[in-house]
Amino acid sequence: MNTQTTKTYEYQTEIKKLLDIVIHSLYKNREIFVRELISNAADSLEKIRHIQLSDKDTGKEDLPLEINIEINKDAKTFIISDTGIGMTKDELISNLGTIAHSGSTEFLKNLDNLKGDPANLIGQFGVGFYSAFMVSDHVKFITRSYVKEAEGLVWESDGKNDYTIDREEGITRGARIVLNISDEFIDYTDPEKIKSIIKQYSNFVGYPIKVNGEQVNTIEAIWTKTPADVTEEEYNEFYKFLTNSFTDPRFRKHISTDAPIQMNALLFFPDDNIEKFGFSRLEPGINLYCNKILIETQVKELLPEYFRFVKGIVDSEDLPLNISRETLQDNRVIGKIRKFLVKRVIKFLQDQAKETPDKYIDFWKEFGQFIKEGVHSDFDNKNELAKLLRFESNKTNDDKYKSLEDYVSSMPSDQTDIYYLHGDSKKDVDQSPYLEMFNSNDIEVLYLFEPIDDFVLSALREFDGKKIVSCDSAEIKFPKSKKKKSKSEKSDEAPSNKDMKKFSDWMKTYLKDRISDVKVSDRLTDSPAILVNPDDSMTTHMQKIMQATQAEFKMGNKVLEINPDSSIIQKMFKLWEVDSNSEQLKLSTDQLTDNTFLLAGLPVDTKTMVDRIHKLMGNQVN
Ligand code: ADP
């Protein structure tokens, strides 16, 4: 080496941290270094293929596009070469010395959230090139970029603090990475072991991978075969290759069609939802091919955002090869594919729900949030997506779920609306006073638990022509047959409807600062009073969320409904009849109102309330 031209560079701090983790913590998965280096080589070959297709002059050197691995047990070396785009000196520095690139940044970001073994994460994010240092204490990256007059370069490092870069003559285009395998990992110089690792992780890489001259992988676009010719094992293997995952997919869909456009698609539904654990948002999961040539990975234009958990590939001959990430959005064929695919995915999930309901419920529990996101955001498809929603209700138990279709089909003929109620848990909603009238009349109510659920149903508005209404809505019209007992059935001592109305008018005036109206309720059986929401467009729960997130948002007006049959209300009525200025009446009215606020999950002034309760207690003791 010519020491005159050798320059030493220090790694960025984050890279040092990453290297330390890679070398010391990922010991269980050392073999993935093979997959990571092959994947970089394949990416680089893919890039040169694109360049060659779109620009006839550059990248012209006639080199076979392939990956060669040479293993030498005696020299204790593992060498992987590709004829891809290579790197310039600036690229070496920024790609291998800083953390500006995607995979590793994600890895580090998520490391802090991670409980347990960081090795679980590499499957999802990869640590890329640095994985070489898991088995090697000295790595050389020899490269020449495809750009005109690029110089041959040698990058070298022991994976600790720094690296050197030097020039070298006679280097062909691409990259050649030389790993000196440490003594303890010497089995990675066994060609048979390397071949089996390649079979496991990299079997579907689209370029020949040769180990000591012998091709190991099956280069096959299984999505272009007819489904009958693909085995279950091949599908699963391909999925694992595609997603770097260790588990089989939950569902898969293989589509082959000529109309409205020629297309083969292979879509997979993963087993678990990593967004659920608080990891960062998933990237779109579909790669786009044209006639088996990879155009772009993680294409966001092929499926709506809420289907970002779907992984797979789409291949269409009708696409121009020179399409780029920038032009994808405006491409007509892409638009057609997207329209077609979203309908097929929804239909597929509907079929799964019918054919394997238990499996679908498992899916729903893991991925339901994405379906909800779809109902909320995709106006064109919300009605079909809504069929995929699942709910617990006052008529389900033991972890059973209902669809909106189930709900509608078991509705009595005079019920016009679909009812729902929000709460923290099933137990919480089960005990809610808002359910009284529904339970006593055997009307089904769907339960919502997630903060976004109200927004989802509110975006949907109706299903199968039935309005979807929150149980705390002031507008609820009970079917006539379900109305409460008429006056004639009431005891003689009970105040008349007319008197009760007058009493409620007094209450309305007295409570004018807190309540927009007071009404005699026809929905309560046991509770003395309840707070209902006259705003048709936003439930109380939604208003609470808005208030928590937007300082300027004001909670909407509320209506107090009183139960004329409640003994408390009747006692208050009597107090009012005798003296509408009675302190006991006012204290009771204020406390009753506070109670309804609390039951509606709305804040009350605690100090005022406690003082008032003490007074009421004192009055009683006297
Ligand atoms: P990632 O692949 O996640 O970006 P890596 O650490 O594996 O992270 O690689 C960093 C960057 O180095 C790559 O994005 C690529 O630009 C470059 N690189 C790595 N290996 C090669 C290679 N064999 N040929 C050309 N460039 C490469």
Nearest CA to ligand 1 atom 18: 40
Contact 180, 23 (CB under 8 A): no
**39 CA → ligand 1 middle, Å:** 9
Total structural domains in the chain?
A: 4
Task: Determine the straight-line distance between the first and last CA of the chain, rounded to whole angstroms.
Answer: 101
Q: Are residues 454 and 536 in the same domain?
A: no
Ligand 1 centroid–CA 105 distance in Å is: 13
pLDDT digits (tens, 9 = 90+) for 307-349: 999 999 999 988 876 676 677 888 889 999 999 999 999 999 9
- In DSSP terms, which residues pair with 253 in a beta bridge? 267
What is this structure's pTM?
0.76
Q: Is the CB of 97 under 6 A from ligand 1?
A: no
Give the pLDDT confidence of 153-164 residue by residue, as tens digits.
Answer: 999 999 989 999
Residue 357: cis peptide before it, omega within 30 degrees of 0: no
Q: Could you give the angle at which helices 567-578 and 497-510 cross, rounded to 10 degrees?
A: 80
In a domain, 480, yes or no: no
Residue 612 Cα to chain centre, angstroms? 47
Atom of ligand 1 nearest to the CA of 80: 23
CATH of the domain at 345: 3.30.230.80
| 153 inside domain | yes
Whichever domain contains 75, its CATH number is 3.30.565.10
Shortest-distance Cα residue to atom 3 of ligand 1: 103
Report percent pLDDT > 90 for the chain: 62
Tell me the CA–centroid distance for residue 563 and ligand 1, in Å: 71
- 335: enclosing H helix or E strand: helix 332-355
Burial of 169 (0-12, 13-18, 19+ CB in 10 A): exposed
Residue that terminates a domain, selected from 166, 185, 215: 215
- Residue 379's pLDDT is 95
Do 304 and 203 fall within a single domain?
no
On whether residue 371 sits in a domain, the answer given is no
In 3D, which of 401, 514, 530 has the Cα closest to residue 470? Answer: 530
Owner of token pair 């003689």: 492
The string of pLDDT tens digits covering residues 251-272 is: 999 999 998 899 999 999 999 8
Buried b (16+ CB within 10 A) or exposed e, 508-526: bebbeeebebbebbbbbbe
Q: Are residues 29 and 160 in the same domain?
A: yes
Q: Is the same domain home to 58 and 199? A: yes
Whole domain around residue 177: which residue ranges?
7-215
Q: What is the mean pLDDT of each run of 10 residues along the chain (622 residues)?
A: 75 84 74 89 90 71 92 97 96 84 62 55 65 94 95 95 95 97 95 92 88 90 91 92 88 92 95 80 89 83 96 90 74 92 98 97 96 96 98 91 96 92 92 90 94 92 95 80 50 81 96 95 90 90 88 90 94 95 95 95 94 90 58
Three-class DSSP category at 311? strand
